[in-house]
Chain A
Amino acid sequence: MSGANRIKGKGRLTPARTVRFSFDNQVLTAVEGDTLASALLANGVHLTGRSFKYHRPRGMLSAGPEEPNALMDVGRDAVRRTPNIRATVQEVYDGMRARSQNRWPSLAFDVGGLNNLASPFFAAGFYYKTFMWPKAAWKKIYEPVIRAAAGLGVAPTEPDPDHYANHFAHCDVLVIGGGAAGLSAALAAAHAGAEVILCDEQAETGGAFHHETDAKVDGRPGWEWAQAVTAELRAMDNVRVLTRTTAFGYQAQNHVGLVERVTEHLANPDPSLPRERLWQVRAKRVVIATGAIERHMVFANNDRPGIMLASAARTYLNHFGVAVGAKVGVYTACDSAWNAAFDLKQAGVSVPAIVDVRPDPDPELVARAKELGIEVFAGQAVLDTSGKLRVKSMKVGKSSGGSTRDISIDALIMSAGWTPSVHMYSQSRGKVVWDEASQRFLPGRNVQDCVSVGACNGVDDLREAVADAAKAGHDAAIAAGISAGAAWTAPEAETGTSWAGSMMGSAAGAGTNTTVKAFVDFQNDVTAKDIRLAVREGMHSIEHVKRFTTNGMATDQGKTSNIHGLAIAAEMLDKPLPQVGLTTFRSPYTPVTFGAIVNHSRGDLFDPTRRTPMHGWEEAHGAVFEDVGQWKRAWYYPRAGEDMHEAVNRECRTVREVAGMFDASTLGKIEVVGPDAARFLNLMYTNGWDKLQPGRCKYGIMLREDGFIYDDGVVGRLAEDRFHVTTTTGGAPRVMHHMEDYLQTEFPDLKVWLTSTTEQWAVIAVQGPKAREIIAPLVEGIDLSNDAMPHMSVREGKICGVPTRLFRMSFTGEAGYEVNVPADYGEAVWKALWERAEPLGACAYGTETMHVLRAEKGYIIVGQDTDGTVTPDDAGLNWAVARKKSDFVGIRGMKRPDLVASGRKQLVGLTTKDPNIVLEEGAQIVADPNQTVPMKMIGHVTSAYWSENCGRSIAMGLVIDGRSINGKTLYVPMPDKTIEVEVTDTVFVDKEGVRLNG
């Protein structure tokens, strides 16, 4: 038997299919299809956790996603466990381990329960007032202790071994919710021929038919009808039915996020299946059929285990076949709880009393209760309850006073009426409207292409809800552009349960007494008196009340508490409820795992890793790689026994003495083509391009509109109307966008087109005295002599039999070439060049050596020696600004008074007095090291290296009016010492530049 409280013949589960699970290490038996909550209740377990703040014993309140109390740590093994799982939603599977949370040392005896005794100290807003001083104690004492004591579950420490999937889906009609209304809408839309997605958060569709057994649709019991319709929908090609799938976020333009729990109910899931699937649906029309959520009654000690929503008790009975108690009391302001009582009584459960706050409940219900032998207390209230780990009795009496009666019970079911679930509507940016007649907030005008149907739209009567929803589904299909469709009639329903009757705020038992704990928000331990206190303390807006009390701010987002909190605040403020306002509902509707949100984007797929065509060779030759944006670039090539410095020193020396090969493939490349190509470049760069002959290259600087350096690179002119532009590695995408942006918005009349060719070409830089000797035998059709192909020229020909764009250029100061070949040939050409280079004593070098060699020549790196506030003049690059041009991007910015005034930081060289000290990049520079702190900082170091070729350290820095103080001594104060430096020019090697032409 799967639990003593299972009633034979009740419920829809198959008793023979049992599964075993554990709760706090106790092994229990359940039936397949049970939720963790129903399985525990079947085994007589009501106590499932301790509350957030006061550590009060708590049990299941609900049977659905609104559950505030029964949060558990659930998993299949040590690695696969998730905290804060709602036991009322989680299905049981064989081998599942569930643990209660927020208790120590055990659930039944919890030390944290002392908080309950100390509760006057923890009143609403206590943390704003209590722990003000001393400041340091916050970090060390208050926050850690409070967090540990008032906590939810513990996050797993191991990486998640499961995988998650993402699907983008498009449909004509998305129906959210598979209750009577949702199914009717989906069916109508599907029959009209629309592509339909229907999602429902539960394992099975049917919505309220889980508990409401007295309704019929098309002549069949509601549940049966729902399952038949679902089967019909599943069989249609144009419909996708997603169960165990929660619509959690309604974004702009009908973009709705759904999360499907794929394997969380299976004992042995196929490992190829994702644990969860994220569905990102773009729907032409959305039908919101999210139903309504029952509210609890607010009265003293309404949180004892065994006290729950009437609809929950009815669900446990009618769907799971579980009696929530043997003696069940009923406390209500709403008709539907009476039906729950009748069902329980008829199933053989003792129901000693129905307490209805309404003085004259529906006589038919009263008559029926009498018939069943249930005592009715109309116009009375439950004033208090008793029981430590489970409710034992309820005190019934009139709120006006007089005699009271204690009635012995072991469960108490309650209903304060139903709150339409307007979460999705509200998330769609719709504004709810107060309906005076029915005293509730309902969807107002639709802001997006959506419609609300059924209980979430305030349509309580089943007959009306089904008819309305079917029409809405059909209309949605038509609005989505579906023209045809078979003739079809809406289902006809016979109403069962009445949902009438409601109360908001605190009932009589909540009193005005400030010591009474009448819970409004169970998960955050907010009581009626907390909300009253908030108002007394001056919180008059519901947004303030919410934040002061944390009402509705727990993971359940106040699904059961918001309206009560609002009503109590309104009463205190003596204002009509709608004037106090309702807080906004935000995504997610229920908590969503990080796994689902991240889905494929983890590990290698977190971000693309870009590798050059020569990566394999580099790896095989021992390169150490550095990340440059998404690229992996060879950083240096250590030989056996070399550390980074030794490797870089050797590489630097070898390039200047012999030659080196460097993978420059990551440099951005843009092909600029068209009769106006030169005119366009004139506008994009500070330099002039008209006079550049085809076959020649030029170093170009690009500014932003504000006059600061944005990017730089060498540009080769291949033909009158064709340029090969290079950019920095990191700048490639943004420079392309920058140029395209100006072309389309500012210079659309120019006849020129831009094409990114970054990845078309693998680039092999061969630099050093023997560069020409290395490449010459492999090159065809290009005269490599100095006269025919001088420094800064470009030729097209062949290398190793494949096409090449061969640049003679240098970022090292040595004579050198950059061999561009189509990318797939990169590796083979590199290998052929290496076969030539290696015997000559050349080396492969990485980005670190490249950085040192360029610094020895004073070549800047944009983004290192510039920081977005450096002008060409600041960087000493005035020579690259064409004075005769009347326009280019940045020309006006450059003339701003602050950019032409003296006192700007200028790029200079810096040599330390002690040649062995390498400065730290970013270190500040001062003129007088004996000033008092804070000193006046006149500049900072931008680049600093050990230069093996100079036999000393070298550096560059930006210093105020730096060029005018050449030779002067400045100081770099460091934590342990002050370093003396001399201001120099920026060229440290081959000041005349003769080596370039070698």
Chain B
Amino acid sequence: MADIAHATRTEALAGRAGGAAGVTLTPARPANRVSLRAGSGEAKSLSDALGHELPLSPKTSVSNGKGRIAAWLGPDEWLIIDETGDPLEELGKAEVLHSAVDVSHRNTAILVSGTGARATLECGCPQNLSDRVFPVGSATRTVMGKIEVVILRTGENDYRVECWRSFSDYSFALLSEAAKDCLA
């Protein structure tokens, strides 16, 4: 059985590119993702296990600048995204009560960048994404058109839109459509 070829990965949005004047849409690189559930009292220990601080304020995220982001999704829920390391393995060492579930392949993400990025998202997201309410580092689980997404603001004009794999077609198409009117 030594000659079993390693199955290759086919990403949902492989080869897609989109955007319009003012905004680019790029499928994000594959990443390890963990849906982490635990009481907020356990956050400290879990942060220690991860070597990464879990945010405790609503609608915030913590990034280590090296491809790992932990986003607050609820009082007992975080989404951890890591482009290099494996947070699931690190959480395995934590001894406090928690649930860590691998959702690396459940989600896929679209990077929305440019001066028209916010307006592009506002085509389908009813939340207030203004600087005052949704500054860089903000994260929210919300609605985009007819689907659920998690939006992370990773830079002044940069957003990451996480959605479930089978909704990525819709998400990419909707954002592409919205991009056309992002300078309105």
A interface residues with partner B (beta carbon < 8 Å): 163, 165-170, 195, 272-274, 277, 280, 282, 600-601, 604-605, 607-613, 631, 671, 673-675, 751-753, 755-761, 777-778, 780, 799-802, 821-829, 832
Shortest distance from the beta carbon of B111 to any chain A beta carbon, whole Å: 18
Contact: A802 with B104, CB < 8 Å? no
Asked whether A165 and B10 contact (CB < 8 A) given A280-B126, A604-B173, the answer is no
Closest 4 CB pairs of A and B: A801-B6, A828-B7, A610-B166, A673-B99
Partner of B4, one of A170, A673, A800: A800
Residues of B within 8 A of A607 (CB): 146
Contact: A612 with B166, CB < 8 Å? yes
Partner of B9, one of A167, A611, A752, A825: A825
Partner of A822, one of B104, B128, B147, B181: B104
Shortest distance from the beta carbon of B172 to any chain A beta carbon, whole Å: 11
Contact: B102 with A760, CB < 8 Å? yes
> B125 an interface residue at 8 Å Cβ cutoff?
yes
Contact: B106 with A609, CB < 8 Å? no
Asked whether A165 and B166 contact (CB < 8 A) given A600-B145, A780-B4, A800-B6, the answer is no
Q: Which of B57-65, B116-124, B151-159 is the interface stretch?
A: B116-124
Contact: A613 with B165, CB < 8 Å? yes
| Residue in B closest to A779 when the chains form the complex, CB atoms | B1
Contact: B105 with A822, CB < 8 Å? yes
Shortest distance from the beta carbon of A166 to any chain B beta carbon, whole Å: 5
CB proximity to A under 8 Å, residues B158-184? 164-167, 169-170, 173-174, 177-178, 180-181, 184
Shortest distance from the beta carbon of B99 to any chain A beta carbon, whole Å: 4
Contact: A801 with B5, CB < 8 Å? yes
Asked whether A759 and B106 contact (CB < 8 A) given A274-B181, A608-B167, A611-B166, the answer is yes
5 contacts between A and B (CB under 8 A): A272-B180, A673-B101, A674-B99, A801-B5, A802-B7
| Residue in B closest to A632 when the chains form the complex, CB atoms | B166
CB proximity to A under 8 Å, residues B127-147? 127-128, 130, 133, 145-147
Shortest distance from the beta carbon of B33 to any chain A beta carbon, whole Å: 9
Contact: A600 with B10, CB < 8 Å? no
Asked whether A755 and B99 contact (CB < 8 A) given A274-B181, A613-B165, the answer is yes
Shortest distance from the beta carbon of A616 to any chain B beta carbon, whole Å: 8
Residues of B within 8 A of A760 (CB): 101-106
Shortest distance from the beta carbon of A164 to any chain B beta carbon, whole Å: 9
Cα A281 to Cα B129 with chains together (Å): 13
- Which applies to chain B's interface (DSSP): helix, strand, loop or mixed? loop
Interface residues on B, range: 35 or more
Cα A406 to Cα B177 with chains together (Å): 62
Contact: B10 with A613, CB < 8 Å? yes
Residues of A within 8 A of B102 (CB): 757, 760, 822
Shortest distance from the beta carbon of B92 to any chain A beta carbon, whole Å: 12
Contact: A600 with B124, CB < 8 Å? yes
Residues of A within 8 A of B173 (CB): 604-605
Residues of A within 8 A of B146 (CB): 601, 607-608
Residues of A within 8 A of B5 (CB): 800-801, 832
Residues of B within 8 A of A272 (CB): 20, 180
> B12 an interface residue at 8 Å Cβ cutoff?
yes
Shortest distance from the beta carbon of A923 to any chain B beta carbon, whole Å: 36
Residues of B within 8 A of A673 (CB): 37, 99-101
Cα A824 to Cα B28 with chains together (Å): 14
| Residue in B closest to A165 when the chains form the complex, CB atoms | B181
Contact: B167 with A755, CB < 8 Å? no
Asked whether A605 and B170 contact (CB < 8 A) given A753-B37, A824-B10, the answer is yes
Residues of A within 8 A of B97 (CB): 674-675, 751
Cα A995 to Cα B103 with chains together (Å): 35
Q: A601-B145, A608-B169, A828-B9 are in contact. List 8 more A-B contacts (CB 8 A).
A: A274-B181, A277-B181, A600-B178, A605-B173, A611-B166, A674-B97, A752-B99, A825-B10
> B89 an interface residue at 8 Å Cβ cutoff?
no
Cα A821 to Cα B20 with chains together (Å): 36
> B30 an interface residue at 8 Å Cβ cutoff?
yes
| Residue in B closest to A821 when the chains form the complex, CB atoms | B7
Most chain B CB inside 10 Å of its own CB: which residue of A163, A673, A759, A821? A759
Cα A282 to Cα B126 with chains together (Å): 9
Shortest distance from the beta carbon of B14 to any chain A beta carbon, whole Å: 9
Most chain A CB inside 10 Å of its own CB: which residue of B103, B106, B146, B169? B106
Residues of A within 8 A of B10 (CB): 613, 824-828
> B47 an interface residue at 8 Å Cβ cutoff?
no
Cα A751 to Cα B98 with chains together (Å): 9
Shortest distance from the beta carbon of A310 to any chain B beta carbon, whole Å: 38
Cα A832 to Cα B10 with chains together (Å): 14
Residues of A within 8 A of B106 (CB): 756-760, 823
Partner of A609, one of B107, B122, B128, B169: B169
Asked whether A611 and B169 contact (CB < 8 A) given A277-B181, A673-B101, A777-B1, the answer is yes
Residues of A within 8 A of B166 (CB): 608, 610-612, 631, 759
Partner of B184, one of A165, A282, A609: A165
> B11 an interface residue at 8 Å Cβ cutoff?
yes
> B35 an interface residue at 8 Å Cβ cutoff?
yes
Residues of A within 8 A of B100 (CB): 673
Contact: B4 with A801, CB < 8 Å? yes
Residues of B within 8 A of A170 (CB): 128, 130, 133
Instruction: Mark contacts of B3-23 with chain A using CB atoms, 8 A cut-off: 1 yes-contact digit, 0 otherwise.
Output: 011111111100000001000
Cα A631 to Cα B170 with chains together (Å): 12
Cα A719 to Cα B37 with chains together (Å): 17
Asked whether A167 and B7 contact (CB < 8 A) given A613-B165, A757-B101, A758-B106, the answer is no
Most chain B CB inside 10 Å of its own CB: which residue of A274, A801, A822, A824? A824
Most chain B CB inside 10 Å of its own CB: which residue of A163, A195, A825? A825
